[in-house]
Amino acid sequence: MIIKTVSVESKVLLPIICEWKGNLSSPGMLLVGRRGQIMYWSPFGGALLPALNKHGVAPNENFNLCIAGVPGSGKSVFMQELMLSVLGVGGKVFVLDYGRSFKRTCLILGGRYIEFDMKNPVSINPFSEVPEDDSAKSIEARSDFLSNFPSILATMAAPQYGTSDLQEQMLQINLTLTLLSIIYSICSSNFCFCIYICFLIVLKFVKSSSPKFSNIITFNSGGKLSQDI
């Protein structure tokens, strides 16, 4: 059969070059291209199922994704479809749901939906991920935790109006004392090392929050302690 048509339509009728079929070694969401080509898409690439990566392609290490759209355009529905595709290949999904868009889907799939309110009190231990060994990286991680976590506590305590200088000092003091008690329980077998680490934390706190007492550090300006601080 011979069809007379314009030249711009010939490439559609003669698909010599097809659309991208997606990453076949990493099945994800089943989408349809503008020309009707079925394709797989997943932001995780071959990292989600490395056993299917037969061509030795390096997995994607950047899994960030931004979905933008006007209200009601289907952003949450798209994310739920992406969630189902991850669960379908045995992955795990954790969602921070603002607006309860995922609540019904979570309950239908047998997931656990955790709400933070006075009727459903949930206790989260912020110290559970603080490293407990005495390596240099762990000491640095504990110091970073002590420096950054007070701002998170302040936001949780006063999300609308913020905290005053006095309240920030109180949060910092209580956090420091709690961390010191944890370190003491971990390092109690090595008393000298425990005192050394606790003294470092106290001096870091004093240096950052109380300028009147920061001069204590200058008393050891030429020693090992000042180099660590």
Q: pLDDT tens digits for 77-99?
A: 999 999 998 888 888 899 988 88
Q: In whole angstroms, what is the distance from residue 78 CA to residue 76 CA?
A: 5
Residue with the two structure tokens 């905290």:
163
pLDDT of residue 54: 63
- How close are the terminal C-alpha atoms of the chain, in Å? 84
What is d(CA 182, CA 24) in angstroms, rounded to the nearest whole number?
Answer: 49
Q: What is the mean pLDDT of residues 144-170?
A: 80
Where does the pLDDT of residue 109 fall: very low under 50, low under 70, confident under 90, or very high at 90 and above? Answer: very high
Overall pTM > 0.85: no
CB 19 within 8 A of CB 37: yes
Ordered by start, the domain boundaries in the chain are 7-108, 136-228
Q: Above 70 in pLDDT, residue 209?
A: no
- The residue ranking higher by pLDDT, 112 or 9, is 112
Look at residues 150, 130, 141 and name the one whose alpha carbon lies nearest to residue 205: 150
* pLDDT band (50, 70, 90) for residue 146: confident
Residue 43 has pLDDT above 50, yes or no: yes
Write down the pLDDT at residue 226: 43
- CB 89, CB 27: distance < 8 Å: yes
Residue 68, pLDDT score: 92
* Dihedral sign for Cα atoms in the order 151, 156, 160, 162: negative
Residue 182's pLDDT is what?
Answer: 67
pLDDT tens digit string along 114-141? Answer: 887 777 777 777 777 777 777 888 878 8
pLDDT band at 1 (very low <50, low <70, confident <90, very high): low
Cβ neighbours, 10 Å, residue 163? 17
pLDDT at 13: 67
The top-scoring range by mean pLDDT among 3-17, 123-137, 149-163, 187-201 is 149-163
Query: What one-letter code names the amino acid at 25?
Result: S
For the packed helices 136-157 and 165-186, what is the interaxial angle rounded to 10 degrees?
Answer: 140
Q: Is the pLDDT of residue 221 over 50?
A: no
Kindly write down the DSSP assignment for every residue of the chain, as one continuous string.
Answer: ------HHHHHHHS-SSPPP-B-TTS--EEEE-TTS-EEEE-TTGGGS-GGG-TT-PPPP----------TTSSHHHHHHHHHHHHHHTT-------SSSSSHHHHHHTT------BTTB-----TTTTS--S-SHHHHHHHHHHHHHHHHHHHHHH-TTT---HHHHHHHHHHHHHHHHHHHHHHSTTSHHHHHHHHHHHHHHHHHHH-GGGGGGGGGGTTSHHHHH-
In contact, 169 and 209? CB cutoff 8 Å: yes
Q: Reply yes or no on whether the pLDDT at 170 is more than 90.
A: no
pLDDT-derived band of residue 50, with 50, 70 and 90 as boundaries?
Answer: low
